[in-house]
Amino acid sequence: MSWRYKLVSMTLLSGLAACQSADKQTAESSPNASIAGTVHVCSSCHGMTGRSVSPDFPNLAGQQTEYLVAQLHNFRDQSRADPHAHTYMWGMAKHLDDQTIAGVAAYFAAQPPVNAVALSTPDPVGAKIYAEGLEERGIPACIGCHGEHAEGQGEIPRLAGQHAIYLAEQLGHFRSNARSNETMHMNALNLTDGEIKALAEYMGSL
């Protein structure tokens, strides 16, 4: 076998391997045909790759799979009743079966997370609450559940790269118990509006 033939063969094999790798990555990050329609509907608010079109709607890209599954089930059975859930998600999730919920969650979780934009002048209050809490007022540190970089785990959501406006809205709903979650209600109960704003901006910037 001549050296030219060997070189051509190696080049073709290398190209084939690269194409196979690209095809695999595309398959992993693209919705299965059976859930593509549902993902398309979701994209009208959350973006096709989970980067939302409005700060009122959460980014879903890179979110924890278990969290997405749990929330879609809560929307479907109407146990999550905050204003946005009632207005937008109850009807959207009403007819989703378990397989579709799992597929949609897996698709958005597989998308690259949104890169957070660091705050030019971070409010030290938000950083303190996240990392240390306010023990004297019974407010625990968020880092204990959501992680050092707000990446979350399991049914605990990723907060890094999330819209600060959305995070502040949800903290307000937890505080008022409009979004029912006993742990988060107690955690947010004693937060002021200013502290919620500072904390939301800090978490979203991680």
Return d(Cα 154, Cα 137) in angstroms, integer.
28
User: How many other CB atoms are there within 10 angstroms of residue 40's CB atom?
Assistant: 11
31 neighbors 39 (Cβ within 8 angstroms): yes
CATH says 32-109 is which class? mainly alpha
| H helix runs in the chain, sequence order | 3-29, 33-46, 65-76, 83-84, 90-93, 98-109, 124-131, 143-146, 164-176, 182-188, 193-204
118 neighbors 149 (Cβ within 8 angstroms): no
Task: State phi, psi for 63 to the nearest 5 degrees.
Answer: -70, 155
Res. 63: pLDDT tops 70 = yes
Res. 20: pLDDT tops 80 = no
**Polymer length of the chain:** 206
How does residue 192 score in pLDDT terms, banded at 50, 70 and 90? very high
Domain pair 32-109 / 124-204, same fold: yes
Task: State phi, psi for 153 to the nearest 5 degrees.
Answer: -165, 140
How does residue 23 score in pLDDT terms, banded at 50, 70 and 90? very low
* Residue 99 pLDDT: 96
How does residue 29 score in pLDDT terms, banded at 50, 70 and 90? low
How does residue 5 score in pLDDT terms, banded at 50, 70 and 90? very low
Return d(Cα 6, Cα 106) in angstroms, integer.
42
How does residue 2 score in pLDDT terms, banded at 50, 70 and 90? very low
The amino acid occupying position 66 is E
Structure tokens at 99: 């397989």
The model's pLDDT over 153-172, given as tens digits with 9 standing for 90+, comes to: 999 999 999 999 999 999 99
CATH says 124-204 is which class? mainly alpha
73 neighbors 136 (Cβ within 8 angstroms): no
Q: What is the CA radius of gyration of the chain?
A: 21
Return d(Cα 145, Cα 200) in angstroms, integer.
15
The model's pLDDT over 93-128, given as tens digits with 9 standing for 90+, comes to: 999 999 999 999 999 999 999 999 889 888 999 999
- Sequence ranges of the domains in the chain: 32-109, 124-204
